[in-house]
Amino acid sequence: MAQKFDVVVIGSGPAGYVAAIRAAQLGLKTACIEKWTREDGKQALGGTCLNVGCIPSKALLDSSYKYESAHKEFKLHGISLDNLKVDVSTMLARKNKIVNNLTTGVAGLFKANGVTSLHGMGKVLPGKQVEWTKQDGSSEVLDAENIIIATGSVPIDIPPTPLTEELIVDSTGALEFTEVPKRLGVIGAGVIGLELGSVWARLGSEVVVLEAQEAFLSVADQQIAKEALKVFKKQELDIRLGCRVTGSENKGQEVIVKYLDDKGEEQQITFDKLIVAVGRRPYTEGLLAPGCGVNLDERGAIFVDDQCRTDVPGIYAVGDVVRGPMLAHKGSEEGIMVAELITGQAAQMNYDLIPSVIYTHPEIAWVGKTEEELKASGEPYKVGTFPFVASGRAMASNETEGMVKVVADEATDRILGVHVIGPSAAELVQQGAIAMEFGSSSEDLGLMIFSHPTVSEALHEAALAVDGHAIHIANRKKRK
């Protein structure tokens, strides 16, 4: 007799493990299949995010920022250090410990909530069955009333720069450099490229970022993006826009990268290490058996509706493997939504208010619509900005780069977008997201009391500036 479950989740990343826990909390007999294996052969839960993505990259970002601060900024505070050095092996060991703590923490949460954890591969079969292939190669068929696919995504490879052991790497390999490369190349100036480039630049690498697009951070509000580009140039990140990589040649411990620059001229540059960070794609290899009824869209993602239902009743898909931004928090909320839908609850995601964050320093974050999107739609809007250079708290902590930008509807004053580059940008944007979730106006934010001195006051002032009422900067005169 096949094992029977109310819910079988395939994948234990932020979308999958959250879906499994919530389903179990709601009284459903739940199993979660995960193939990820640690070096000791044991199962590693948490998917890309916890093992080789969000968490380890933030650990290295934090460590490298502390080193850079000690190296460049402590003197401003009257603090002197002699013989400052970085021990990369200790840094990596700290990162690995954090990863281990969190992945074992998910295992503990599964146990506490009664989720059955299955080590191996999952494949969706016809008739809402799941084939579970174990680590020893044997397989077992599970009966499932409901299936939640949460297999995530993998880095995109490009033909001009095939990955090689330690020399040309993807985002996973970039987290494992055992020493600081002198010359580091990064292909792609997106979130991953900027974060990983920042880590190694802070530790002493000469970093060149090659980006095919001519616009920098085209997904972000362009006023914020232009400010970010200025900041990164000051940090000596050499970001070259409009550059299309055409080939590479490995020369022992070096790699020569050939590319066409923004004028269409052929160029080449030599690196000691090269990171390929051109994006990610949905992971569906070996997932769907013929006849299972689950279909893919034109991007190779699993086709779902607004509530993550596939074309087969009772089969859902969430996270990076479906449409929308590939963000851990988006996947987690989809997992919760689906678990609640299965139990008959009313549940819905607000896809208009998914915050995005780039964890460089300063951070870059946004939620809602950009000014460019509003211009393109013809929607009348108004804007308020406030620079951190006018913030007392930012000045006290030597964090004065950047600004807060609030975009509101011209007629109703309802907040349409909040965009930040600067200290605690992710936290400030989350404040904006909370306000927007409740349909707040810029006047509502302006009427709230913000504690002083805080960087949050910059959000308050930007909201006031929407109608020319900012206190701590000179307001722009409105055009007549």
- Mean pLDDT taken over the chain: 97
Q: Is pLDDT above 90 for 148?
A: yes
DSSP 163: -
Residue 450 gets which letter from DSSP?
A: -
Q: Report which secondary-structure segment, H or E, holds 61.
A: helix 54-72
Which region among 244-248, 457-461, 472-476 has the lowest average model confidence (pLDDT)?
A: 472-476
pLDDT of residue 75: 92
Question: What's the confidence (pLDDT) of residue 476?
Answer: 82
Exposed, middle or buried, 473 (CB in 10 Å: 0-12/13-18/19+)? middle
Alpha-carbon gap, residue 368 to 437, rounded angstroms: 10
Residues 355-366 have a mean pLDDT of 98
Catalytic (active site) residue 452: yes
Which residues are registered as beta bridge partners of 260? 244, 266
3-state DSSP helix/strand/coil % of the chain, to nearest 5? 35, 25, 40
Residue from 76, 66, 65 nearest 397 by CA = 76
Predicted local confidence at residue 166, as pLDDT: 87
Query: What DSSP state is assigned to residue 311?
Result: S
Residue 2 pLDDT level (bands cut at 50, 70, 90): confident
Cβ pair 473, 385 in contact under 8 A: no
- pLDDT > 70: percent of the chain: 99
Which residue shows structure tokens 């493997």? 321
The size of the chain, in residues, is 480
pLDDT for position 62: 98
Please indicate, yes or no, whether the overall pTM of this predicted structure exceeds 0.85: yes
In sequence order, the β-bridge partners of residue 382 are 408
Q: Of 71, 119, 361, 452, which is the active-site residue? A: 452
Rounded CA-CA distance 144/434 in Å is 37
Mean local confidence (pLDDT), 67-94: 94
Kindly state the average pLDDT of the residues 430-445: 98
- What is the mean predicted confidence (pLDDT) over 51-58? 97
Confirm if 267 and 259 have CB atoms less than 8 A apart.
yes
pLDDT tens readout for residues 20-46: 999 999 999 999 999 999 989 999 999
* Dist. CA 313–CA 305, nearest whole Å: 12
Euclidean distance between CA atoms 45 and 47, whole angstroms: 6
> Alpha-carbon distance 146 to 4, whole Å?
10
Confidence of residue 233 (pLDDT cuts 50, 70, 90): very high
pLDDT at 477: 76
Give per-residue pLDDT as tens, 180-223.
999 999 999 999 999 999 999 999 999 999 999 999 999 999 99
CA distance 138 to 251: 43
pLDDT over 70 at 243, yes or no: yes
